[in-house]
Amino acid sequence: MKPVIVPVAFGTTSKALETYNVIDEAIKQRFPEHEVRWAWSSRMVRDVMKKKGRHFPHPHEVLAELAGEGKDWAVMQSMHLICGHEFTRLLDEVHTGTPRISVGLPLITSPEDCRWVVDAMGHLVSDREDEATLFIGHGTDHPAWTTYFALDAMLKNTYGPGTFTGVVEGFPEAEDVVSAVKAAGFTRVKIVPLMLVAGVHYLEDLAGDEEDSWKNLFAAEGIDATLIDRGIGYMPEIVRLFIRHLEEAMDMVLESGAV
Protein backbone atom coordinates (compact mmCIF):
# COMPACT_ATOMS: atom_id res chain seq x y z
CA MET A 1 0.00 0.00 0.00
CA LYS A 2 1.52 3.33 -1.12
CA PRO A 3 1.80 5.94 1.68
CA VAL A 4 -0.68 8.79 1.34
CA ILE A 5 1.00 12.18 0.93
CA VAL A 6 -0.44 14.85 3.22
CA PRO A 7 0.89 18.37 2.55
CA VAL A 8 0.17 20.55 5.60
CA ALA A 9 -0.08 24.30 4.95
CA PHE A 10 -0.97 27.24 7.17
CA GLY A 11 -3.64 28.19 4.63
CA THR A 12 -5.14 31.44 3.40
CA THR A 13 -8.59 32.96 3.01
CA SER A 14 -7.62 35.02 -0.04
CA LYS A 15 -7.41 34.24 -3.75
CA ALA A 16 -3.76 33.37 -3.12
CA LEU A 17 -5.19 29.92 -2.35
CA GLU A 18 -4.47 29.26 -6.02
CA THR A 19 -0.78 28.96 -5.15
CA TYR A 20 -1.46 25.63 -3.48
CA ASN A 21 -2.79 24.27 -6.77
CA VAL A 22 0.63 24.89 -8.32
CA ILE A 23 2.30 22.93 -5.53
CA ASP A 24 -0.32 20.18 -5.65
CA GLU A 25 0.27 19.61 -9.36
CA ALA A 26 4.03 19.42 -8.83
CA ILE A 27 3.66 16.85 -6.04
CA LYS A 28 1.31 14.69 -8.11
CA GLN A 29 3.66 14.86 -11.07
CA ARG A 30 6.57 13.68 -8.91
CA PHE A 31 4.54 10.99 -7.10
CA PRO A 32 1.85 9.91 -9.58
CA GLU A 33 1.15 6.62 -7.79
CA HIS A 34 0.40 8.25 -4.42
CA GLU A 35 -2.84 9.76 -3.21
CA VAL A 36 -2.49 13.38 -2.05
CA ARG A 37 -4.71 14.86 0.68
CA TRP A 38 -4.12 18.39 1.94
CA ALA A 39 -4.47 19.53 5.55
CA TRP A 40 -4.47 23.04 7.04
CA SER A 41 -2.85 24.02 10.32
CA SER A 42 -4.43 27.44 10.94
CA ARG A 43 -7.59 27.34 13.04
CA MET A 44 -8.44 30.90 11.97
CA VAL A 45 -8.24 29.99 8.29
CA ARG A 46 -10.34 26.86 8.81
CA ASP A 47 -13.01 28.82 10.73
CA VAL A 48 -13.24 31.55 8.08
CA MET A 49 -13.44 29.07 5.23
CA LYS A 50 -16.09 27.07 7.09
CA LYS A 51 -18.28 30.18 7.13
CA LYS A 52 -17.77 30.36 3.37
CA GLY A 53 -18.99 26.78 3.02
CA ARG A 54 -15.60 25.16 2.48
CA HIS A 55 -14.09 22.52 4.72
CA PHE A 56 -10.35 22.77 5.35
CA PRO A 57 -9.44 19.64 7.35
CA HIS A 58 -6.98 19.80 10.22
CA PRO A 59 -4.07 17.30 10.13
CA HIS A 60 -5.63 15.18 12.88
CA GLU A 61 -8.86 14.95 10.84
CA VAL A 62 -6.97 13.66 7.84
CA LEU A 63 -5.10 11.16 10.00
CA ALA A 64 -8.37 9.95 11.53
CA GLU A 65 -9.79 9.42 8.04
CA LEU A 66 -6.72 7.48 6.97
CA ALA A 67 -6.86 5.33 10.10
CA GLY A 68 -10.52 4.59 9.43
CA GLU A 69 -9.62 3.47 5.92
CA GLY A 70 -6.95 1.13 7.23
CA LYS A 71 -4.00 3.08 5.84
CA ASP A 72 -0.71 1.99 7.38
CA TRP A 73 1.52 4.94 6.46
CA ALA A 74 1.27 8.61 5.61
CA VAL A 75 3.98 11.06 4.62
CA MET A 76 3.18 14.53 5.94
CA GLN A 77 5.00 17.36 4.22
CA SER A 78 5.19 20.62 6.12
CA MET A 79 4.51 23.55 3.79
CA HIS A 80 5.76 26.02 6.39
CA LEU A 81 8.82 28.14 5.69
CA ILE A 82 10.64 27.65 9.00
CA CYS A 83 10.54 25.30 12.00
CA GLY A 84 8.38 27.64 14.09
CA HIS A 85 5.27 27.20 16.21
CA GLU A 86 3.11 25.75 13.42
CA PHE A 87 5.64 23.02 12.65
CA THR A 88 6.22 22.26 16.34
CA ARG A 89 2.48 21.83 16.88
CA LEU A 90 2.30 19.62 13.83
CA LEU A 91 4.90 17.26 15.28
CA ASP A 92 2.95 17.10 18.55
CA GLU A 93 -0.28 16.27 16.75
CA VAL A 94 0.83 13.57 14.32
CA HIS A 95 1.95 10.98 16.86
CA THR A 96 -1.40 9.22 16.90
CA GLY A 97 -0.10 5.68 16.40
CA THR A 98 -2.16 4.89 13.29
CA PRO A 99 -1.28 5.43 10.56
CA ARG A 100 2.46 5.67 11.07
CA ILE A 101 3.89 9.02 9.99
CA SER A 102 7.03 10.28 8.32
CA VAL A 103 7.29 14.09 8.33
CA GLY A 104 8.98 16.21 5.68
CA LEU A 105 10.80 19.30 7.00
CA PRO A 106 9.81 22.94 6.34
CA LEU A 107 11.42 24.91 3.54
CA ILE A 108 14.47 26.27 5.40
CA THR A 109 15.97 23.91 7.95
CA SER A 110 19.66 23.82 7.03
CA PRO A 111 22.40 26.03 5.54
CA GLU A 112 21.93 24.13 2.28
CA ASP A 113 18.22 24.98 2.26
CA CYS A 114 19.03 28.61 2.95
CA ARG A 115 21.48 28.70 0.06
CA TRP A 116 18.91 27.06 -2.23
CA VAL A 117 16.30 29.70 -1.36
CA VAL A 118 18.78 32.56 -1.83
CA ASP A 119 19.70 31.25 -5.28
CA ALA A 120 16.05 30.69 -6.20
CA MET A 121 15.13 34.30 -5.36
CA GLY A 122 18.04 35.89 -7.17
CA HIS A 123 15.92 36.92 -10.16
CA LEU A 124 13.87 39.13 -7.84
CA VAL A 125 16.83 41.24 -6.70
CA SER A 126 16.77 44.68 -8.29
CA ASP A 127 19.64 45.66 -10.56
CA ARG A 128 18.96 49.38 -10.08
CA GLU A 129 21.51 51.29 -8.02
CA ASP A 130 18.82 53.43 -6.41
CA GLU A 131 16.51 50.52 -5.51
CA ALA A 132 16.80 48.17 -2.54
CA THR A 133 15.19 44.75 -2.48
CA LEU A 134 13.31 43.86 0.69
CA PHE A 135 12.12 40.33 1.48
CA ILE A 136 9.38 40.36 4.14
CA GLY A 137 8.42 37.19 6.02
CA HIS A 138 5.71 36.49 8.56
CA GLY A 139 8.01 36.50 11.59
CA THR A 140 7.73 34.56 14.84
CA ASP A 141 8.56 34.68 18.54
CA HIS A 142 9.73 31.06 18.30
CA PRO A 143 13.52 30.54 18.56
CA ALA A 144 13.42 29.86 14.82
CA TRP A 145 13.19 33.65 14.32
CA THR A 146 16.94 33.59 13.75
CA THR A 147 16.36 31.84 10.41
CA TYR A 148 15.49 35.23 8.92
CA PHE A 149 18.87 36.61 9.94
CA ALA A 150 20.71 33.67 8.42
CA LEU A 151 18.79 34.28 5.20
CA ASP A 152 19.57 38.00 5.36
CA ALA A 153 23.28 37.32 5.77
CA MET A 154 23.36 34.96 2.79
CA LEU A 155 21.37 37.40 0.65
CA LYS A 156 23.83 40.20 1.39
CA ASN A 157 26.84 37.94 0.83
CA THR A 158 25.43 36.88 -2.53
CA TYR A 159 23.78 40.01 -3.91
CA GLY A 160 25.33 42.85 -1.93
CA PRO A 161 24.19 45.44 0.61
CA GLY A 162 21.09 46.39 -1.37
CA THR A 163 19.12 43.42 -0.04
CA PHE A 164 17.20 43.58 3.23
CA THR A 165 15.00 41.20 5.22
CA GLY A 166 12.05 42.13 7.42
CA VAL A 167 9.10 40.48 9.15
CA VAL A 168 5.46 41.39 9.74
CA GLU A 169 5.51 40.18 13.34
CA GLY A 170 8.53 40.24 15.64
CA PHE A 171 12.06 41.52 15.25
CA PRO A 172 13.20 43.62 13.48
CA GLU A 173 10.41 46.21 13.64
CA ALA A 174 9.19 47.64 10.34
CA GLU A 175 10.31 51.15 11.27
CA ASP A 176 13.86 49.92 11.85
CA VAL A 177 14.03 48.28 8.43
CA VAL A 178 12.62 51.37 6.72
CA SER A 179 15.23 53.49 8.51
CA ALA A 180 18.01 51.13 7.43
CA VAL A 181 16.93 51.31 3.78
CA LYS A 182 16.77 55.12 3.97
CA ALA A 183 20.12 55.39 5.73
CA ALA A 184 21.71 53.31 2.96
CA GLY A 185 20.67 56.00 0.47
CA PHE A 186 18.01 54.15 -1.50
CA THR A 187 15.11 56.14 -2.96
CA ARG A 188 13.22 53.10 -4.21
CA VAL A 189 12.47 49.66 -2.77
CA LYS A 190 11.14 46.47 -4.27
CA ILE A 191 9.11 44.56 -1.67
CA VAL A 192 8.95 40.78 -2.06
CA PRO A 193 6.63 38.72 0.19
CA LEU A 194 8.84 36.03 1.72
CA MET A 195 5.72 33.95 2.21
CA LEU A 196 4.40 30.87 0.49
CA VAL A 197 1.29 32.79 -0.59
CA ALA A 198 0.61 36.51 -0.94
CA GLY A 199 -2.47 36.34 1.26
CA VAL A 200 -3.95 38.57 3.95
CA HIS A 201 -0.57 39.66 5.34
CA TYR A 202 0.43 40.83 1.88
CA LEU A 203 -2.87 42.58 1.20
CA GLU A 204 -3.07 44.34 4.56
CA ASP A 205 0.40 44.59 6.15
CA LEU A 206 2.54 45.05 3.05
CA ALA A 207 0.31 46.67 0.44
CA GLY A 208 -2.58 47.98 2.56
CA ASP A 209 -3.91 51.52 2.67
CA GLU A 210 -3.37 51.96 6.41
CA GLU A 211 -0.59 54.38 7.32
CA ASP A 212 1.39 51.65 9.08
CA SER A 213 1.54 49.33 6.06
CA TRP A 214 5.06 48.76 4.77
CA LYS A 215 4.21 50.52 1.50
CA ASN A 216 3.05 53.64 3.31
CA LEU A 217 5.85 53.61 5.87
CA PHE A 218 8.30 53.86 2.98
CA ALA A 219 6.18 56.52 1.27
CA ALA A 220 6.28 58.62 4.45
CA GLU A 221 10.09 58.61 4.16
CA GLY A 222 10.02 59.59 0.49
CA ILE A 223 10.88 56.09 -0.74
CA ASP A 224 8.86 54.70 -3.64
CA ALA A 225 7.81 51.09 -3.04
CA THR A 226 7.06 48.54 -5.75
CA LEU A 227 5.44 45.31 -4.56
CA ILE A 228 5.64 41.81 -5.99
CA ASP A 229 2.11 40.41 -5.65
CA ARG A 230 2.92 36.71 -5.58
CA GLY A 231 4.29 34.52 -2.82
CA ILE A 232 7.33 32.33 -3.38
CA GLY A 233 5.11 29.25 -3.65
CA TYR A 234 4.76 30.01 -7.36
CA MET A 235 8.50 29.66 -7.92
CA PRO A 236 9.53 26.27 -9.41
CA GLU A 237 12.79 26.10 -7.45
CA ILE A 238 10.99 26.73 -4.15
CA VAL A 239 8.48 23.98 -4.93
CA ARG A 240 11.38 21.73 -5.89
CA LEU A 241 12.95 22.21 -2.46
CA PHE A 242 9.71 21.22 -0.73
CA ILE A 243 9.57 18.14 -2.93
CA ARG A 244 13.16 17.31 -2.01
CA HIS A 245 12.14 17.31 1.65
CA LEU A 246 9.13 15.19 0.74
CA GLU A 247 11.39 12.72 -1.05
CA GLU A 248 13.58 12.46 2.05
CA ALA A 249 10.52 11.74 4.22
CA MET A 250 9.31 9.16 1.70
CA ASP A 251 12.75 7.50 1.70
CA MET A 252 12.43 6.99 5.45
CA VAL A 253 9.32 4.92 4.85
CA LEU A 254 10.86 2.95 1.99
CA GLU A 255 14.05 2.25 3.97
CA SER A 256 11.97 0.89 6.85
CA GLY A 257 10.69 -1.80 4.53
CA ALA A 258 7.11 -0.87 5.34
CA VAL A 259 6.08 -0.72 1.68
Could you give the residue numbers annotated as active site? 138
| Phi-psi label, residue 97: left if phi above 0, alpha if psi -120 to 50, beta otherwise | left
Full strand arrangement of the beta sheet holding 39-40: 39-40, 4-9, 73-78, 100-104
Residues 6+ positions from 214 with CB-CB distance below 8 Å: 134, 136, 166, 174, 178, 191, 205, 206, 207, 225
CB atoms within 10 A of CB 222: 8
AA identity, residue 144: A
Cα–chain-centroid distance for residue 87?
Answer: 11
User: Rounded to an integer, what distance in angstroms lies between the CA atom of residue 27 and that of residue 8?
Assistant: 13
Q: Which residues contact 24 (CB under 8 A, 6 or more apart)?
A: 7, 36, 38
